[in-house]
Amino acid sequence: MDNLGLGTWISRRRAKSHGDTAVISAERTLRYEEFADRIARLSNVLADRGIAKGDRVVYLGNNHPDFLTTFFACGALGAIFVPLNTRLAPRELEYMIEDSGAAFLITHHSVRDLARAAAWSSGITHRLVVDGPAELPAVEAFDDVLAAASPELRVARVDFDDPAMILYTSGTTGRPKGAVLTHGNLTWNSINALVDYDVTSDDVALLIAPLFHVASLSMGALPTLLKGGTIVLHDKFDPGAVLIAVETHGVTSLSGVPTTFQMLAEHPAWDSTDLSTVRKLTCGGSSVPLRVTEAYEKRGLSFSSGYGMTETAPGATALPYRKAREHVGSSGLAHFFTDVRIVGPDLQPLPAGETGEIEISGPNVIRRYWNRPDATRDAYDGEWFRSGDIGCLDEEGYLIVSDRLKDMIISGGENIYPAEVEQLIMELPQIESVAVIGVPDQRWGEVPVAVAVKRSEIAADAVLKHLTGRIAKYKAPKAVAFVDELPRTASGKIRKADLRERYSSLDAVTATEVTG
């Protein structure tokens, strides 16, 4: 077989894991041979409708087995999978669909209205709907077309350097960038995960974070399926349902963000839930609060954390479970087949203990952005990817991250790039200047707040209303503060650190300055 990509993984697993469970969800449970059959049939459906190597296929939907069916079928054909975030506004989705140049859309029926609003007038020529009827002439029912398709996997020649997926990341300049992840990027990331997280064939990984986020797909689903384990998919986070699933399915691995783990520990069923099968807890997004760590330690569990980003597929470092207490505050060591270094303003490597920009190199690191040669050029220092994050390496090589990519806000595990929000607010003629910052929040880690200077009279409510329907709700500021002027450097740049110090919480924003 001349396909070295991810699209043949489940076909190769078919005999090795025959009879074993691959995917469990509310909709269906699939053994490896059943999963392989659906992937093969979809590969023929796509090919028969003109999809070939290099073509883009958009998937819009929450966690579902056919998200993965589509991912692997695209890989078999050498087509490029483009998963989109269902929490985005139609305008945002429309931009990504058009930028990718996709001609094929697969959507879950639960978000069909969102898909219709975002893509009906775009270049999409073929549409399938999962778990729903073909309500319009231009739409086919997913299961109906699979039933009529050939069960022989259709494959094209695919090498490690061929694109497997485009994942859009909100750009620091306001326009989303499509990170092009190759088959090699995703394969090597999975190998890193196997080595550093001890993934085994008897693992049962519960995935509650959306698969359209690279961490859930690439650190959870792919390594587990590569080893022949089982993944359990939840399409939304319900702490009670998660605790039931842990007992019911004998979950061994659970990943999430600090808010996820906090809500589980605060649930009434926490103390009575049997957690004896759980071996691995991995947390990303931000550090785990001490009270949450202690709640899990009382149950004999400890966290592993790590550092990474979409562009590193996403793992760059991992903190071993056995070292979690010893290296509190660290994001761990570089993954086995990945290198991390710290450089100064002159891009020369710095010695241990000195703070500078974090750079990453390895076969898991992307080489380009989709249709963005400018962004690609700016992102690299030779073979090293420039993260834009600030940190240092200690004497043992453990990474301590001290600042985030530019001024990115992480709210409930979702990345929010202030420039994107600021750009929309600045469309208002009444606004002279604005800065969006993150303020600490007990539940979400951080929430966005806008600090603005008015050119003429406008109410904070009007600013928020301007954003409604144009940007995802989680990105919208929870408050708008009006000030006479924004603090700036001598060169005119806004000093956001000063604003974060002033507005250290939502309570710090006075009633005369804020609404929302």
95 pLDDT more than 80? yes
- Per the structure, the complete domain to which residue 458 belongs is given by 409-508
Q: Which token pair is 332?
A: 């761990």
The model's pLDDT over 392-446, given as tens digits with 9 standing for 90+, comes to: 999 999 998 876 656 778 888 887 878 788 889 988 989 988 999 999 888 888 9
Q: Does residue 274 form part of some domain?
A: no
352 pLDDT more than 60? yes
Query: In 352-440, where does DSSP find H-type helix?
Result: 373-378, 418-425
- Residue 170: its pLDDT value, please? 67
Q: Does residue 502 form part of some domain?
A: yes
- Residue 136: its pLDDT value, please? 67
144 pLDDT more than 60? yes
pLDDT-derived band of residue 511, with 50, 70 and 90 as boundaries?
A: very low
Residues 22 and 29: their CA atoms lie apart, in Å, by 8
pLDDT-derived band of residue 258, with 50, 70 and 90 as boundaries?
A: confident
Q: Does residue 53 form part of some domain?
A: yes
CATH number of the CATH domain containing 133: 3.40.50.980
CB-based contacts of 492, cutoff 8 Å, min separation 6? none
Of the residues 126, 159, 192, which one is the last residue of a structural domain?
Answer: 159
- Residue 406: its pLDDT value, please? 64
Q: Does residue 246 form part of some domain?
A: no
Q: Give the chain's domain count.
A: 2
- Residue 514: its pLDDT value, please? 44
Nearest to 474 by CA among 310, 166, 267, 257: 257
CB-based contacts of 140, cutoff 8 Å, min separation 6? 126, 127, 128, 129, 134
- Strand extents, DSSP E, 117-235: 126-130, 139-141, 163-169, 177-182, 204-207, 230-233
Nearest to 320 by CA among 434, 196, 224: 196
Q: Does residue 4 form part of some domain?
A: yes
Mean pLDDT of 327-331: 83
Q: Does residue 491 form part of some domain?
A: yes
Q: Does residue 217 form part of some domain?
A: no
Residues 105 and 129: their CA atoms lie apart, in Å, by 9
pLDDT-derived band of residue 183, with 50, 70 and 90 as boundaries?
A: very high
Of the residues 133, 159, 185, which one is the last residue of a structural domain?
Answer: 159
